[in-house]
Amino acid sequence: MKLLYQTHSPYARKALVFAHEAGLAGRLEVLHHETSPTRRNDAVFAENPLGKVPVLLRPGLPPIFDSDVICAYLDTLHDRAPLIPEQGEARWQALRVQAIAQGLCDAGIAVRWETVRRPEALRYPPLREGYLQKLAASYDWLERELDLDGPLHVGHVALATALDWLAFRGLPAFRDGRPRLTDWFEAFLARDSMRATPLSGETQD
């Protein structure tokens, strides 16, 4: 299988970290592709009409895109304990944390547009402030609600890659006043899956 990837995408990294945690990284050929809303990548558009990575290319089968769907597919290919719990409250907690993580990335990207990426005359400070409030509220929710004692799941992978990307981009810090979240994140950073997939590069518009 081939994974269309971007070294500074939290979404793509989530899929690759998941593959490492599932023991499947050795089955993937990782191919870096630069994409952004203002930079068309025809090779990516040929596989995903949204023009975004990650995309998983499977021999003889249709491509799979969106990190959530890629992770769900990869979870069917290994014989370890599922990283997406199959039933009960464990499933819904994992998916809730995954949803928060995805929202953190979306909000962080929006803050970057209103801070450094959009031409200054077109930036809208109230919109930036609204997304900053979403980040802070999500950090506080995670400090209260993140499950620390159960088995590893997809929400943990999504959250660790999201938080590391937020720090990588210099977006509002989550550590101050949130010791549970901070300790969990620092421990997750030491995992082999994170160490094998470092963030690098700048967005090219």
pLDDT at 203: 84
Is a pLDDT exceeding 90 seen at residue 202?
no
Half-sphere exposure of 88 (CA within 13 A, CB side): 2
- Kindly list the strands in the beta sheet with 29-32, ordered across the sheet, starting from the edge strand earlier in the chain: 29-32, 2-5, 55-58, 61-65
pLDDT at 114: 97
User: Each residue of 147-178: pLDDT tens digit?
Assistant: 998 899 999 999 999 999 999 999 999 999 99
Determine the average pLDDT of the residues in 126-146: 98
pLDDT at 69: 98
Q: Which residue is listed with tokens 């499947």?
A: 24
Give this prediction's pTM.
Answer: 0.96
**Residues whose CB falls within 8 Å of the CB of residue 189, separated by 6 or more in sequence, listed in order:** 160, 164, 195
Q: Domain 88-195: give its CATH architecture.
A: Up-down Bundle (1.20)
Is a pLDDT exceeding 80 seen at residue 195?
yes
User: Each residue of 9-42: pLDDT tens digit?
Assistant: 999 999 999 999 999 999 999 999 999 898 899 9
User: Each residue of 55-85: pLDDT tens digit?
Assistant: 999 999 999 999 999 999 999 999 999 999 9
pLDDT at 13: 98
User: Each residue of 80-111: pLDDT tens digit?
Assistant: 999 999 999 999 999 999 999 999 999 999 99
Domain ranges of the chain: 2-74, 88-195
- Percent of the chain at pLDDT exceeding 70: 100
What confidence tier does 204 reach under pLDDT thresholds 50, 70, 90?
Answer: confident
Is a pLDDT exceeding 80 seen at residue 125?
yes
Distance of CA 100 to the CA centre of its chain: 10
User: Average pLDDT, whole number, for the chain?
Assistant: 96
Topology of domain 2-74, CATH: Glutaredoxin (3.40.30)
User: Each residue of 33-48: pLDDT tens digit?
Assistant: 999 898 899 999 999 9
Q: Which residue is listed with tokens 């979870």?
A: 75
